[in-house]
Each structure stands twice: as structure tokens, then as C-alpha cells.
Amino acid sequence: MKTVRVSASRDYDVVIDCGILERSGEYIKEFCKNSFAAIITDDKVDSLYSATLERSLETEGIRTVKYVFPNGERSKNAENYIKILEFLASNHITRSDLVIALGGGVVGDITGFAAGSYLRGVDFVQIPTTLLAMVDSSVGGKTAIDLEAGKNLAGMFYQPRLVLCDTDLLDSLDEKVFSDGCAEVIKYAALGSKEMFMHISDTKTGFDREKVIAECVQMKARIVAEDEFDNSTRQLLNFGHTVGHAAELCSGYEVTHGSAVAIGMATVSAACARAGICDKATADSLKKICRAFSLPTELCFPMEEICSAILSDKKIKGSKITAVLCKGVGECFLKSFTLDEFRSFIAL
């Protein structure tokens, strides 16, 4: 078992262990003074894990209600967000109760936003069920829904009370969903750990899950402690995301988040190599590791479409965009571009 403490506007633990879902009630009861919790999940996760969670909560005397929505990014929308709020209200969830997000990034993001805005904020716990959510989206308090115009355009910073990562849950992920999470692991390795890069290159999908998840979360915790509200260093966590979010939007979310991040990291590091910012071997090693995890690396949309999608990215400030560039594995930095400059930078 590993525990990482996150220090932000609210401090909390991220506990990483196998089999923790079965014991989740023991951890959660401390944050559920009224012994009443609303579980928010999706239909895929519901059939696999809700019963275990409900049983564990019941053992601790916690009553539950549950809201289930269809799995997938298309559920992360305003209509579903309002439905969750109405569900909380109609079940008389109060500020002394608890909201639990059981699921991947979509569940965590929309539930966090609902918890943060319902009654101007009720406590919530994240139980991520995908690798992507364990290493990245469940930690750090970014919550959001997508708007027609783009991804994550409405949301807030709202930290959970606790994050419980059960590494056993990764066994039920299909290969594609697991690979998607590996893109975020590769991102963390590229940002700050040559050692992790070597470990995952050597072991591929057989990497030490508990160790790698804890290292990613530690890295994120350090960055969030320094810049919770994403004004400076936290933007490093967007490596591959500017191009990635644009690819997701252009595809109508057919391209999944992890695949999009892999495309983004490969595109930007290739551009860095062309511009002499990193050597070609660095760009090639990033592409190679993405491919080793069955992730795509080619930008499959015309540059004009990508650039117009980037325009609706929330990371645009005025006419400037801050991109994450790569000098070498473990060495990334931020650089501000106009959209035209960025277009020329990434264009082949």
C-alpha cells in the first residue's frame, strides 16, 4: 500500500492498494458524518463494481443512493450534469452528506463539478477505476464538463476529500482503455522521470502498477502544491494536450483522450526535434514507447481543422497559447506561441 498526501486548498490522501474497494467504507466513513452518500457512476462500471462499494459502505452503516449514466465522453455534458444535480436534490443530499465518484475520468470530472457546485459544495471522494483516472484525472481537483465548442470548457477547481485507487480494478480494463491510461503514464515519465521511462519501456504493460501510479501521483502532488490553479507549472501537465484535445474535438470524441495525448506528445516532440530543441532520438523514443503501448502517433486531421479546434481550447489566453515542449526525456518546459506561430511550429 502507498499513500500520497496532496497539499492544496484542501489537503487529502491518495491511497493506492490492491483490493481497497472492498475496504473502501473503512476509509470513507470518516468523511461521511451523516452516514448517507450518493454514488455517481456509469453503466459499465456499475455492473462491475457498485455492489462491492455498496456492500463495504453498508458494513460501515452508510446508506447510499446511486445515479448511473451511459459510459463514455459523450456523457460529460451539460444535460447530464444538470441531471446529477437534480438527482442529488431529489434525494435530499445535504452538506453533511457525501458524493462518491466511482469510475474513470468522465465520471470523476462531471461528479466533481456537480459536487463542487451543488449547494455551493458538498464533500466528495474519488474512486478511479481506470489507469488514466488513477494517475491523473482523479487527483488535483480539476473538474469539468464539455461544451459543444470544446472539451472541459465549464468546470471548477474542487478538491476531493480522499482518492482511493484499487490496482485490482485495472484487471477488468479492456486493452484499449488500459493503453489510454498508459499515455498519461508516458506523459509523467517524459515530464520528470527518466527512470520511470526506462521501467515502462522495459516492462511494457507489465510495469509495477502500485509503484508507477504512486510515482505519477507524487509528481502531480508536487506540481499541484506549487500551482493548484494552473497559472504556471501545472501547465506542464498539459504535455501533448493542446494538439490532443484538438484531435479529440475534431473526431467528435471518437479519438479517446489517451490516444489523443499520445498523438499530441508525438507531434510536439517531432516538432521540437525539427526545431533543434531536442535531438531526434528523444522524439523517436517517445514515438516508439507510445507505439509499444498500442497508442497512435500520427495526426490524422488537416492542420486547419486542428488549429480551429485549438482556438476553442481553454488554455488559449488572449491570442496566445502556452505549449509544453520537450528538451529531452524528463526535461519539459513551457513556451508561449501565437496560434500562427504554433501552427508553423507543428506543421510538417
Binding site residues, ligand GLY, CB under 6 A = 136, 140, 142, 230, 234, 237
**The cell 462500471 sits on which residue?**
45
Which CB atom, from 46 or from 109, has the smaller least distance to ligand GLY?
Answer: 109
Residue 66 or residue 234: which is nearer to ligand GLY going by CB? 234
- 227-249 burial string, b = 16+ CB within 10 Å, else e? ebebeeebbbbbbbbbbbbbbbb
Q: Which is nearer to ligand GLY, 64 or 218 (CB)?
A: 218
The C-alpha cell at 95 is 452538506
Pick the closer one to ligand GLY by CB: 44 or 241.
241
Q: Are 114 and 123 in contact (CB under 8 A)?
A: no
CA angle at 42 for the pair 70 and 235, rounded to the nearest 5°: 100
Residue closer to ligand GLY by CB (options 222, 234) is: 234
Which residues are within 8 A (CB) of 300 and not within 5 positions of it... i.e. 6 or more apart?
Answer: 247, 255, 263
Residue nearest to ligand GLY (CB): 237
Q: Which of 172, 141, 145 is nearest to 157 (CA)?
A: 141
Contact 40, 102 (CB under 8 A): yes
Q: Which residue has the cell 497512435?
A: 296
Closer by beta carbon to ligand GLY, 114 or else 144: 144
- The answer to whether 39 and 66 have CB atoms below 8 angstroms apart is yes
Q: Beta 142-147 vs 123-128: how paired, if at all?
A: unpaired
User: CB of residue 108 vs ligand GLY: minimum separation in angstroms?
Assistant: 11
In the complex, the smallest distance separating the C-beta of residue 314 from ligand GLY, rounded to whole angstroms, is 11
Q: Cβ 57 to ligand GLY, closest distance in Å? A: 28
Give all strands (DSSP E) within the chain, no chain letters: 2-6, 12-17, 36-42, 63-69, 98-103, 123-128, 142-147, 150-157, 162-166, 316-317, 320-328, 331-338
C-beta of 137: minimal distance to ligand GLY in Å?
Answer: 6
3-state DSSP percent of the chain in helix, strand and coil, to 5: 55, 20, 25
Choice between 76 and 142, CB closer to ligand GLY: 142
The set of cell numbers assigned to 283 is: 522524439
CB of 23 to ligand GLY, least distance (A): 27
Which lies closer to ligand GLY via its Cβ, residue 136 or residue 248? 136
Question: Nine-digit cell at 59?
Answer: 458494513
Closer residue to ligand GLY, CB minimum distance, 97 or 146 = 146
Neighbours of 274 (CB within 10 A): 15
